[in-house]
Chain A
Amino acid sequence: MIDWMVTKMEKEPVMKIRGLTKKYGDVIGIKDLDLDVYPGEIMGFLGPNGAGKTTTIRACLALLNKTAGDVKIFGLDSHKDSVEIRRDVGYLPGDFGMYPDMKAKAILKYLLSQSDVSDTTKMYELSEILDLDLNKKYRELSKGNRQKVGIVQAFMADQDLVILDEPTGGLDPLMQHKFYDLLRKESREGKTIFMSSHILAEVEEVCDRVAIIRRGELQVVEEISSLQEKMGKKLEVEFRDGVDLDRFDMQGVEKVEVDGNRVSMIVTENLDEVVKEVSKYDIMNMSLETFNLDQLFLTYYREDEGS
């Protein structure tokens, strides 16, 4: 684990979820979910549509009742102390609307006043960063610009924890990168960010840790770097002649597959030994590929489907 992450995780979690379960009648939305979010980190919450990301977030913010479990945010009970909690939490819903006939500026000022914040400096700063015209009525804004209004409202009250549900929906790639920069800046300033997404690349790009959820159950919580390490690297070698596969039967080598003179394998440890073994043969071609989050994510889900 990276040192600075260790330091963060030694602190008391900003958000502490234990055994969180939400049922809709007989249908399970999320089941027995445990998760900690530490101060100053950017945590990605990853899962396909319908996995339970939004349900988790909305249950943490008391927009949904819990069926079971306990959520503490800043040490306060998520439901009993929800009003108090929301003083320190910014939130961008995955799907939201606003007042269509009002100007973006008026909407944001109203929302800011509801948080008892009168300083609009950050509101204007964020609007400038995101290139948002505050003088347009909400109904006149494109989908992307409406999303920017949502992002500005999530950050403008300068709260310590910001929860974002699929924040980049509707943003163009250029704006997405501006948004990632904004996340990093906010994180540097000490904000904790909990962000759900199904866009694996953005989680990989900005998050320190990732929690993967599937069918309402948490699959894994890891630092992205260590998750990639655990997943290993894919080694593909094309030999001039055939090889004795038994030579690769060593610790840390999995899924050895042969296709003519082409051999592929997953190497999770002993890479040095494996390469030395490979070098004993004539090599026509060779590649060593680190798993990215896309492949990692798919691997998780394929394994689940297999089971």
Chain B
Amino acid sequence: MIGGTFLFELRNKWKGLTIFLVVALIVVGGMVQLFPVVVDAMEEDVEELEGQEKVRVKVENGNVTLDWDPVENATYYRILEDTGSHMATYEVVEESVDDNETTLFYDTEEERYFAVVAVLEDVREEVFVGMGSTIERKSPMEELMEAPYFRAFTAGRPDVDFRYIEGFLSVELYSWWFLLVGLYLAYISVNGVTDDYEERRLDILFSNPISRRRFLTEKFLVLSFYTFVLLFVSAVVLIGSLHSVGELEKFGVWTALATMLGSWPLFLVVIAFSMLFAVKFKRSRTAVGLSLMIALVMYALHIAGNMVDALEWVTTFTILSYWDYNSVLLDEIFKTEHFLGLIILALIIFVAAILIFEREDIPA
């Protein structure tokens, strides 16, 4: 019966597939719900330096000038400097400043933190006056965003802003959600075939009038169909979740659909590759191991290529470069040629899998 394997696979695997679908949807919907919280945190959680209001810092002409509120009975002031606000590795840059102002040599663009300590010799005490820095203070999230590794998750784009929903989802959802889905699909694609080898079912299955080509094709179609449903439902959940936080109008229904459904060919390649390994190695452990390893190595190379300029050439060979969701998300460009190219690649790999499956012995 044409479609028999397709329906049987769906019926047999629906529990596992549904559980993953629910997990994926919770992640998609939940991550959007975090957006307002994160934006609030970025705007409110600008951590003030201790005594910041008492110390003023001015950078000008290669110098930094500090002035501070004077302390009564202070004999002199000591100036400490560090590269972080923690002051854990400070150096004393001025041991004894008589006035409540000093100018220091400053020829770097790196941020510096200064602390002013008043020394009261009469009572043999030291009083902390306050801290200042050479930069405008930002929230920890903003500082994190400027870290170079975020470029890796945005296909090299340096100007992604968390305060906008597109930037937030690019880094906090899409950057790993596709990997998660890809790894799961690789796992079930391999096991969907190797289980039949390892459970010794193929002799019985092929005592029926179905060809190996049809058998494998129906398995491929089941997973392709499931992936499409997963992506479509994820897009619907994404749209609903965006609507609930008031970001849908800005984000756009088309963007939500395109970023989800646009990844379908990428997953077809993952499924085809995994099936190829499954029919070649016939053992779950080997085929799953190889599939997951290749997926993770590709991901790592993609990240490295986008993070380090010298490794940019590597991205040509990583499949993730041909599903650039950031192009849709941030540039509003859908790369149709990549979409079609990946479908063709998936079909080529799948045909190779069929040829191997048809030509090799079925082990007893």
* Chain A positions near chain B (C-beta within 8 angstroms): 54, 58, 61-65, 82-84, 86-87, 89-91, 93-100, 102, 110-111, 113-116, 150, 153-154
Residue among A63, A95, A114, A116 making CB contact with B361, cutoff 8 Å: A63
Residue among A54, A96, A116 making CB contact with B204, cutoff 8 Å: A96
Would you call B310 an interface residue if the criterion is a C-beta within 8 Å of the partner chain's C-beta atoms? no
Closest B residue to A115 by beta carbon equals B208
Are the CB atoms of A102 and B204 closer together than 8 Å?
Answer: no
Contact residues in B for A89 (Cβ distance below 8 Å):
207
Q: Which 5 A-B pairs have CB atoms at the shortest separation, nearest pair first?
A: A91-B207, A114-B208, A93-B203, A97-B199, A97-B200
Contact residues in B for A115 (Cβ distance below 8 Å):
208-209
Are the CB atoms of B205 and A114 closer together than 8 Å?
Answer: yes
Contact residues in B for A61 (Cβ distance below 8 Å):
206-207
In the bound complex, what is the Cα–Cα distance between A97 and B204 (angstroms)? Answer: 8
Closest A residue to B15 by beta carbon equals A101
Contact residues in A for B360 (Cβ distance below 8 Å):
65
Q: List 19 A-B contacts (CB under 8 A).
A: A58-B203, A63-B202, A63-B203, A63-B362, A64-B361, A64-B362, A82-B211, A86-B206, A87-B209, A89-B207, A91-B207, A96-B201, A96-B204, A97-B200, A99-B199, A102-B12, A111-B208, A114-B205, A116-B1
Contact residues in A for B124 (Cβ distance below 8 Å):
none
Residue among A99, A116, A150 making CB contact with B209, cutoff 8 Å: A116
Return A104 CB to nearest CB of chain B, in Å.
Answer: 13
In the bound complex, what is the Cα–Cα distance between A99 and B198 (angstroms)? Answer: 12
- Interface of B, secondary structure class, is loop
Are the CB atoms of A110 and B4 closer together than 8 Å?
Answer: yes
Q: Do A65 and B361 contact each other (CB < 8 Å), given the known contacts A96-B204, A102-B12? A: yes
Would you call B333 an interface residue if the criterion is a C-beta within 8 Å of the partner chain's C-beta atoms? no
In the bound complex, what is the Cα–Cα distance between A150 and B204 (angstroms)? Answer: 8
Contact residues in A for B209 (Cβ distance below 8 Å):
83-84, 86-87, 114-116
Closest A residue to B359 by beta carbon equals A65
Q: Do A58 and B204 contact each other (CB < 8 Å), given the known contacts A84-B209, A102-B12? A: no
Would you call B8 an interface residue if the criterion is a C-beta within 8 Å of the partner chain's C-beta atoms? yes
Closest B residue to A106 by beta carbon equals B11
Contact residues in A for B12 (Cβ distance below 8 Å):
99, 102
Would you call B340 an interface residue if the criterion is a C-beta within 8 Å of the partner chain's C-beta atoms? no
Return A72 CB to nearest CB of chain B, in Å.
Answer: 17
Return A52 CB to nearest CB of chain B, in Å.
Answer: 12
Contact residues in B for A93 (Cβ distance below 8 Å):
200, 203-204, 207, 364
In the bound complex, what is the Cα–Cα distance between A89 and B208 (angstroms)? Answer: 8
Contact residues in B for A65 (Cβ distance below 8 Å):
359-361
Contact residues in B for A83 (Cβ distance below 8 Å):
209-211
Contact residues in A for B205 (Cβ distance below 8 Å):
111, 114
Closest B residue to A93 by beta carbon equals B203
Q: Which of B4, B199, B207, B359 has the most CB of A within 10 A?
A: B207
In the bound complex, what is the Cα–Cα distance between A84 and B210 (angstroms)? Answer: 9
Told that A113-B4, A114-B5 touch, could you supply 5 new A-B pairs with CB distance under 8 A? A65-B360, A83-B211, A99-B12, A100-B199, A110-B8
In the bound complex, what is the Cα–Cα distance between A148 and B203 (angstroms)? Answer: 16
Q: Which of B4, B200, B361 has the most CB of A within 10 A?
A: B361
Contact residues in A for B206 (Cβ distance below 8 Å):
61-63, 86
Contact residues in B for A96 (Cβ distance below 8 Å):
200-201, 203-204
Contact residues in A for B199 (Cβ distance below 8 Å):
97-100
Residue among B208, B359, B361 making CB contact with A86, cutoff 8 Å: B208
Are the CB atoms of B203 and A99 closer together than 8 Å?
Answer: no
Are the CB atoms of A97 and B201 closer together than 8 Å?
Answer: yes
In the bound complex, what is the Cα–Cα distance between A100 and B364 (angstroms)? Answer: 19
Q: Which of B203, B211, B359 has the most CB of A within 10 A?
A: B203
Are the CB atoms of B200 and A95 closer together than 8 Å?
Answer: yes
Closest B residue to A62 by beta carbon equals B206
Return B164 CB to nearest CB of chain A, in Å.
Answer: 48
In the bound complex, what is the Cα–Cα distance between A83 and B360 (angstroms)? Answer: 16
Are the CB atoms of B364 and A114 closer together than 8 Å?
Answer: no
Q: Do A153 and B204 contact each other (CB < 8 Å), given the known contacts A54-B364, A63-B362, A97-B199? A: yes
In the bound complex, what is the Cα–Cα distance between A90 and B203 (angstroms)? Answer: 11
Q: Which of A93, A95, A114, A154 has the most CB of B within 10 A?
A: A114
| Contact flags B1-17 to A (C-beta < 8 A → 1, else 0) | 10011001000100000
Q: Do A91 and B203 contact each other (CB < 8 Å), given the known contacts A63-B362, A65-B359, A113-B1? A: yes
In the bound complex, what is the Cα–Cα distance between A110 and B207 (angstroms)? Answer: 13
Return A80 CB to nearest CB of chain B, in Å.
Answer: 11
